[in-house]
Amino acid sequence: MILSGTFTFNGPRATVFELLQDPAVLAKALPGTKMLTKTAEDHYEGAMKVSIGPMTAAEFAVTVELKDKVAPERFSMHIDGKGSVGFTKGTATIELQEEPGPVTLMTYSSDVQIGGKIAGVGQRLLESVGKMMTRQALDSLNKELQARL
């Protein structure tokens, strides 16, 4: 499943970049993530809970690693999740461009593989739920940014 798009944050790029390095905030950016704990530099472990169609509250143990960081311009995330109903594995790239205002334009692209019972609900449903959860996460991040400014 590939998800990509843009989102505009109402704040400066450096602040948005720093926000996305905070494990508590990063958990809000990853759809369904309940919590993340920093276990090493740029490495996090936590739990993700996802409901898709008839599969309600499927829980995954998740690891996230941040790579290719060029502050405050871009970074990538490598995500690996495993649970009783399947697995998820993928990468996401995030690019931040400062615009007048100051506002920050985020361009994101992710390629996620989902397998096991949870994949049985159908690719079309997975994509629509993924898009909805991504939009909710980005809106939540923008609210967090506004609270910190």
Of residues 74 and 126, more confidence is placed in: 74
What φ, ψ does residue 30 adopt, rounded to 5°?
-95, 110
Q: Would 119 be classed as within a structural domain?
A: yes
The per-residue pLDDT of the chain, averaged, comes to 87
Give the confidence band of 57 by pLDDT, cuts at 50, 70, 90: low
Asked whether the predicted pLDDT for residue 128 surpasses 90, the reply is: no
Q: Would 11 be classed as within a structural domain?
A: yes
CATH number at residue 43: 3.30.530.20
Mean pLDDT (whole number) for 23-47? 87
Lowest mean pLDDT among 48-52, 59-63, 129-133, 142-146: 48-52
Q: Would 120 be classed as within a structural domain?
A: yes
Q: Would 75 be classed as within a structural domain?
A: yes
pLDDT of residue 130: 77
Q: Would 149 be classed as within a structural domain?
A: no
Lowest mean pLDDT among 33-47, 70-84, 95-109, 111-125: 111-125
C-alpha closest to that of 126 among 139, 142, 114: 114
**pLDDT per position as a tens digit, 58-94:** 788 999 999 999 999 999 999 999 988 888 899 999 9
The count of structural domains within the chain is 1
| SS3 per-residue string spanning the chain | CEEEEEEEECCCHHHHHHHCCCHHHHHHHCCCEEEEEEEECCEEEEEEEEEECCEEEEEEEEEEEEEEEECCCEEEEEEEEEECCEEEEEEEEEEEEEECCCEEEEEEEEEEEEECHHHHHCHHHHHHHHHHHHHHHHHHHHHHHHHHC
pLDDT of residue 43: 96
Asked whether the predicted pLDDT for residue 55 surpasses 90, the reply is: no
Q: Would 74 be classed as within a structural domain?
A: yes
Q: Residue 13 is part of which domain span?
A: 2-144
Q: Would 130 be classed as within a structural domain?
A: yes
What φ, ψ does residue 110 adopt, rounded to 5°?
-135, 150
C-alpha closest to that of 90 among 73, 74, 109, 72: 109
